[in-house]
Amino acid sequence: MVAENTAKNLSITLRVWRQDGPQAVGKFVDYQSKDLSPNMSFLEMLDVVNDDLTLKGEPPIAFAHDCREGICGTCSCTINGQPHGPGKGVATCQVYMRTFRDGDVITVEPFRAAAFPIVKDLITDRSAFDKIQQAGGFITARAGSAPEANALPVPKPDADLAMDAATCIGCGACVAACKNASAMLFVGAKVSHLGILPQGQAERDKRVVAMVDTMDALGFGNCTNQYECSAACPKLISHDFISRMNRDYLAATVRAAFKAVSLGGSGGS
Amino acid sequence: MATLDSKVPSGPLADKWRKHKVDIKLVNPANKRKYEVIVVGAGLAGSSAASSLADMGYKVKSFVFHDSPRRAHSIAAQGGINAAKNYQNDGDSVHRLFYDTIKGGDYRSREANVHRLAEVSVNIIDQCVAQGVPFAREYGGLLANRSFGGAQVSRTFYARGQTGQQLLLGAYSALMRTVGAGTVELHTQSEMLDLVIVDGQAKGIIVRNLISGAIERYSADAVVLATGGYGNVFNLSTYARGSNVTASWRAYKRGACFANPCYTQIHPTCIPVSGDYQSKLTLMSESLRNDGRIWVPKNASDSGKDPNSLSEGDRDYFLERMYPSFGNLCPRDIASRAAKRVCDEGRGVGPTGLGVYLDFSEAIRRLGENVVRERYGNLFDIYHEITAESAYQKPMRIFPAVHYTMGGLWVDYNLMSNIPGLFVLGEANFSDHGANRLGASALMQGLADGYFVIPYTIGDYLAGQKSGSRPSVDGAEFKAAEQNIVTMTKRFLENRGKATVSHFHKRLGKLMWEYCGMARTKSGLAAALQKIAALREEFWATVLVPGSAETLNQSLEQAGRVIDFIELGELMCRDALTREESCGGHFREEHQYPDGECKRDDEKFGHVAAWEFQGVGQTPLRNAEPLNYESVKMSVRNYK
Ligand SMILES: Cc1cc2nc3c(=O)[nH]c(=O)nc-3n(C[C@H](O)[C@H](O)[C@H](O)COP(=O)(O)OP(=O)(O)OC[C@H]3O[C@@H](n4cnc5c(N)ncnc54)[C@H](O)[C@@H]3O)c2cc1C
Ligand code: FES
């Protein structure tokens, strides 16, 4: 009894998307759940429902989760039409039942986007994000080759801004919230995190071009500046990083057009 | 009996690692690509290892049960990472970090490993900064530090309250770079279920593809496990729900020794349990103890009252009273037991009486609410989300919870287990933290192992293996191991019992917390051994695992993990029962000083206990590796 919340227990109707596999046809199925403590988390409520289903001989609901504290980015439910549900700046696992009222009908779906195919029930395949990272979401620095850490001071405001961008948990809520299923906030955040820091300058142009091109190739849509992404983001990452990425991308393509290329090294591919 | 040769190099402590690096065998650059290494796990330890080995030229296969390596449990670490940089000019040094870690571990870790850890700690920070980890900085642009428990210097580097996230994303970016370059082959949602041993050496693994359900075989020249800790044996813990012991446990059942399983860490500052449905406990970072003051009412009769109504005189700041020189920053095991003691005295707070206050009112007066918000805002937000209370207005309520496991698979100085070719890194091994880990030292160890130790030490083993001698996955050993998993899976699914897997996990957790938690007794542990064995039998008789093996089946995944936890629970209790002393996180009520501090028995127990499997339900063999302290003298820990 963590909170001194004396609110009484709730009963709800859960309307859940059930889908056996990527090719299967899915549908909403209703489940009743009674006597839920308001201090329960939303995922704990699903645990309880699943135990009941199991005992009744019905297949439990597949849902993704791990840390249950809003940092791993695994959980990914659209609750009542909103990725990660009603709260601001929270992931699905940080939604508590006290958010709902007795008698509510709660609709739960997977994150929907063409680039995130449904695996089963509420679980989607978000490996496209890993592929974007592989294309350029890094600073090449082999272990053993790094200079002394304090040799390169980073102005605090830059470090703080880079950190703001770096807090992305890679959950994909931005994509699910966007009507075009754009991944610009996710990519913009990584491009900005690394592009703001002095360490990230050497690969800055190459990075932004590679990441953006891969994003496009994987079937994510375009940004039409509605900024639903930032609103749904559990870390409230600012859409300013999208414009920053666009500027970087433009600059990189312009620079590439005029860049002298060494004939000797490996840079001329 | 297993042979436990620690392979600690000779020579003065401070020269051992340097000398060892010169002495060990190397694989020449052109030959490296002929060797394949399997790395299971991609938390800090696994992703740093996989990318570093790939950068050196080895062919690497990386396996994780997560849908992306970025989701490993390391992501959740909050507070920071230690390194002996001495940027604060406050007297830190490699030796001091080494000494603090040895002492913090209550003289139960291996000196040479710990010294190496302290040595490479400085390289880790360099490496992470080069990768773009956005550590906190001062206005001049240089790196900032904070203090952590068990140290009197400020040596902890941090990235807000999300240090683990930022370090993991750094290591993950290196891993993604190598995957993109084709030097690492990545297998996500692939759970290792068995280790394959050929001619006495680790040469492969059996994996279940969690999406298709297919059982797959992989062979390699060496296998690296970096699969994390086993705290979820308690069911409720600060670990991610998916963290499990399966990889280590299956390796144990194939002959790898499990060292000091009873050494578990209970973290003093977690949000208290709220109800039976609870699935995890949330940590409030130790960094809060820099500015927060821990107290309970002096009188039990006040424990139900509004904390703000109690005057200074009515409060007992018990850590400051008992440990004046370390105060609220004394090590975790000590702080946790002190909290338990005041709650046992009836002075605990909150509805269950199992809680103490962590109070920021003095810090808010001293620094202003804005500074407190800047330092800890995200933690206060988490607290508010879970409890619906504001820690700016009312002290937080906290209680100890299981947080880390110091025990793990036994490894030598090269981080190789007693099975040749099987290496174990990060929290999954036992080596560096003795009987208690200091805050901000797990991240350090994971990255030390992956970036700076295994790249050297694996060569010593591989150089002795003929390139191209890797066995085929069609061999009898692979077939047998696969059959083992197929049989087990069938047994789960055909059981058609009447109780869910989570039901058993909860019951196991309660048993472990009661008998093998913060305080342990001989009779309790003996009783627990019986009860857990009975629980194991009941599990097999009545567990109900729905669904099929040929598809994503989370109940099936859970079943395998929980039965392993049950078997591990027995081993932990046995280890705790046999270790007739108290040390660090292992507190036996029979062995304490009058003031309640741990009473070690160096004569009889100044060793590592490494258990060797003899069959389920059979008493395992207890091997001992003596701990030879060459540099430090084992003494009574004192934080007063
Ligand atoms: C809430 C919290 C806060 C913490 N804060 C700090 C801190 O501030 N400072 C600090 O130093 N330490 C901290 N720790 C401890 C630290 O985070 C961990 O000890 C450390 O991150 C473990 O890293 P690892 O690489 O060994 O394992 P993990 O990060 O647990 O990674 C395990 C990996 O193994 C994989 N895996 C496991 N089993 C299998 C299998 N059978 N098959 C395939 N893959 C498998 C997983 O997919 C994962 O990739 C904290 C711990 C917790 C719980
Ligand atoms: S489960 Fe990790 S973010 Fe929700």
Q: What is the ipTM of this complex?
A: 0.96
Buried b (16+ CB within 10 A) or exposed e, B564-573: bbbbbbbbbb
Separation between Cα atoms, residue A116 and residue A125, nearest integer Å: 5
Separation between Cα atoms, residue B263 and residue A101, nearest integer Å: 44
B54, B60 contact by CB (below 8 A): yes
Per-residue pLDDT reduced to its tens digit, B221-242? 999 999 999 999 999 999 999 9
Residue matched to tokens 């300058």: A201
Separation between Cα atoms, residue B557 and residue B564, nearest integer Å: 11
Torsion angles phi and psi, residue A91, rounded to 5: -95, 170
Per-residue pLDDT reduced to its tens digit, B464-504? 999 999 999 999 999 999 999 999 999 999 998 999 999 99
Sheet containing B422-424: give its strands across. Answer: B184-187, B59-63, B36-40, B222-225, B422-424
Does the beta carbon of A67 lie inside 6 Å of ligand 2?
Answer: yes
Q: Which CATH number fits domain A127-268: 3.40.50.300, 3.40.50.720, 1.10.1060.10, 3.40.50.620?
A: 1.10.1060.10
Separation between Cα atoms, residue B254 and residue B409, nearest integer Å: 12
Separation between Cα atoms, residue B489 and residue B560, nearest integer Å: 8
β-strand pairing of A27-36 with A10-18: antiparallel
Q: What is the mean pLDDT of chain B?
A: 96
pLDDT at B377: 87
Q: Domain B476-607 carries which CATH code?
A: 1.20.58.100
Per-residue pLDDT reduced to its tens digit, B411-445? 999 999 999 999 999 999 998 999 999 999 999 99
Find the mean pLDDT for residues B561-572.
98
**CA nearest to B201, candidates B161, B139, B265, B254:** B254
Separation between Cα atoms, residue B560 and residue B250, nearest integer Å: 11
Of A20, A62, A193, which has the smallest distance from its Cβ to B134's Cβ? A193
* B390 contacts chain A (CB < 8 A): no
Separation between Cα atoms, residue B557 and residue B546, nearest integer Å: 11
B309, B357 contact by CB (below 8 A): no
Report residue A265's pLDDT band, with 50, 70 and 90 as the boundaries: low
Crossing angle of the two packed helices A184-196 and A127-136, in degrees rounded to 10: 30
Write out chain A residues lying below 8 Å of B278, CB-based.
44
Greater confidence, B286 or A64?
A64
Q: What is the DSSP letter of A21?
A: S
Report residue A260's pLDDT band, with 50, 70 and 90 as the boundaries: confident
Least confident of A79-83, A104-108, B553-557, B595-599: B595-599
Q: The tokens of B61 are what?
A: 């296969």
Separation between Cα atoms, residue A138 and residue A148, nearest integer Å: 19
- The CATH topology of domain B266-402 is Flavocytochrome C3; Chain A, domain 1 (3.90.700)
Report residue B637's pLDDT band, with 50, 70 and 90 as the boundaries: confident
| Domain limits, chain A | 10-120, 127-268
Taking the centre of ligand 1 as the mean of its atom positions, its distance from the CA of residue B43, in whole angstroms, is 6
Whether the pLDDT of residue B46 is over 80: the answer is yes
Q: What is the DSSP letter of B153?
A: S
Q: The tokens of B349 are what?
A: 């707070």
B110, B6 contact by CB (below 8 A): yes
Residues above pLDDT 90, as percent of chain A: 92
Q: What is the dihedral of CA A76, A133, B54, A167, to 10 degrees?
A: -60
Residues above pLDDT 90, as percent of chain B: 91
Check the CA dihedral A259-A262-A265-A266 and report its sign.
positive
Query: B282 CA to chain A: closest CA distance, Å?
Result: 7
Radius of gyration of chain A (CA): 22
Give, for B501, the enclosing helix (H) or strand (E): helix B501-516
Separation between Cα atoms, residue B37 and residue B219, nearest integer Å: 9
**Residue B541 vs residues A96, B493, B556: alpha-carbon distances, Å:** 36, 12, 16
Separation between Cα atoms, residue B640 and residue B213, nearest integer Å: 55
**CA nearest to B568, candidates B362, B428, B423:** B428
Residue matched to tokens 């902890």: B156
| Domain limits, chain B | 266-402, 476-607
Provide the CB-side half-sphere exposure for B506 (13 A, CA): 13
Taking the centre of ligand 1 as the mean of its atom positions, its distance from the CA of residue B240, in whole angstroms, is 9
pLDDT at A5: 47
Could you give the 3-state DSSP secondary structure of residue A28?
Answer: strand
Per-residue pLDDT reduced to its tens digit, A19-44? 999 999 999 999 999 999 999 999 99
Q: The tokens of B360 are what?
A: 């920021």
Greater confidence, A144 or A263?
A144
**Residue B485 vs residues A225, B191, B201, B551: alpha-carbon distances, Å:** 51, 12, 20, 16
**CA nearest to B83, candidates B160, B21, B131, B145:** B145
Query: A90 CA to chain B: closest CA distance, Å?
Result: 9
Amino acid at B347: R
Q: The tokens of B400 are what?
A: 């100890």
The length of chain B in residues reads 640
Q: Which CATH number fits domain A10-120: 3.90.550.10, 3.20.20.70, 3.10.20.30, 3.40.50.620?
A: 3.10.20.30
Query: Chain A neighbours among B 231-260 (CB < 8 Å)?
Result: 240-242
Query: Chain A neighbours among B 434-473 (CB < 8 Å)?
Result: 451-452, 455
Catalytic positions of B, written as ranges: 332
* A145 contacts chain B (CB < 8 A): yes
Per-residue pLDDT reduced to its tens digit, B291-305? 999 999 999 999 999
Find the distance separating the first CA and the last CA of chain B, reported in whole Å.
Answer: 42
Ligand 1 residue neighbourhood (C-beta within 6 Å): B 40-46, 63-66, 69, 72-74, 76-81, 163-164, 191-192, 226-229, 238-239, 243-244, 246-247, 283, 403-404, 426-428, 440-443, 446
Q: The tokens of A110 are what?
A: 């997977």
Write out chain A residues lying below 8 Å of B451, CB-based.
143-144
Report residue B596's pLDDT band, with 50, 70 and 90 as the boundaries: confident
Of A94, A126, A169, which has the smallest distance from its Cβ to B67's Cβ? A126
Give the residue on B whose Cα is nearest the Cα of A197.
B132
Q: Do B179 and A120 touch (CB under 8 A)?
A: no
How many angstroms from the chain centroid is the CA of residue B412? 18
Separation between Cα atoms, residue B192 and residue B248, nearest integer Å: 10
Separation between Cα atoms, residue A171 and residue A194, nearest integer Å: 19
Per-residue pLDDT reduced to its tens digit, B146-173? 888 788 899 999 998 899 999 999 999 9
B284, B290 contact by CB (below 8 A): no
Whether the pLDDT of residue B374 is over 90: the answer is no
Torsion angles phi and psi, residue A77, rounded to 5: -110, 145
Q: Do B130 and A146 touch (CB under 8 A)?
A: yes
Query: Chain B neighbours among A 189-208 (CB < 8 Å)?
Result: 193-194, 197, 199-200
Of B87, B177, B271, which has the smallest distance from its Cβ to A150's Cβ? B87
Q: Do B55 and A133 touch (CB under 8 A)?
A: no
pLDDT at B171: 98
B453, A144 contact by CB (below 8 A): no
Report the residue of A39, A75, A133, A203 to disrupt the B interface, i.e. the one with the largest count of B CBs within 10 Å. Answer: A133
Query: A142 CA to chain B: closest CA distance, Å?
Result: 7
Q: The tokens of B494 are what?
A: 């055909």
What is the value of pTM for the model shown? 0.97
Q: Which atom of ligand 2 is nearest to the CA of A93?
A: 4
Does the beta carbon of A176 lie inside 6 Å of ligand 2?
Answer: no
Whether the pLDDT of residue B626 is over 60: the answer is yes
**CA nearest to A177, candidates A82, A90, A248:** A82
Find the mean pLDDT for residues B39-53.
98
Give the E-state strand segments of chain A in sequence order: 10-18, 27-36, 77-79, 82-83, 105-110, 118-120, 123-124
Q: The tokens of A22 are what?
A: 């990527």
Residue matched to tokens 């009545």: B542
Collect all residues with Cβ–Cβ distance below 8 Å to A69 and sequence separation of at least 6.
Answer: A93, A94, B76, B280, B282, B382
pLDDT at A266: 54
Q: Do A133 and B173 touch (CB under 8 A)?
A: yes
Torsion angles phi and psi, residue B402, rounded to 5: -65, 135
Does the beta carbon of A83 lie inside 6 Å of ligand 2?
Answer: no
Per-residue pLDDT reduced to its tens digit, A174-233? 999 999 999 999 999 999 999 999 999 999 999 999 999 999 999 999 999 999 999 999
The length of chain A in residues reads 269
Give, for B402, the enclosing helix (H) or strand (E): strand B396-405
Facing residues of B640 across strands?
none
Separation between Cα atoms, residue B579 and residue A66, nearest integer Å: 34
Report residue B459's pLDDT band, with 50, 70 and 90 as the boundaries: very high
**CA nearest to A207, candidates A240, A248, A152, A244:** A248
Separation between Cα atoms, residue B193 and residue A153, nearest integer Å: 46
**CA nearest to A74, candidates A138, A38, A125, A128:** A125
DSSP characters over B538-584: HHHHHB---S-SSS--HHHHHHHHHHHHHHHHHHHHHHHHH--S-BT
Find the mean pLDDT for residues B89-113.
97
CB pairs under 8 A between A and B: 233
**Residue B395 vs residues A220, B292, B421, B598: alpha-carbon distances, Å:** 46, 9, 51, 30
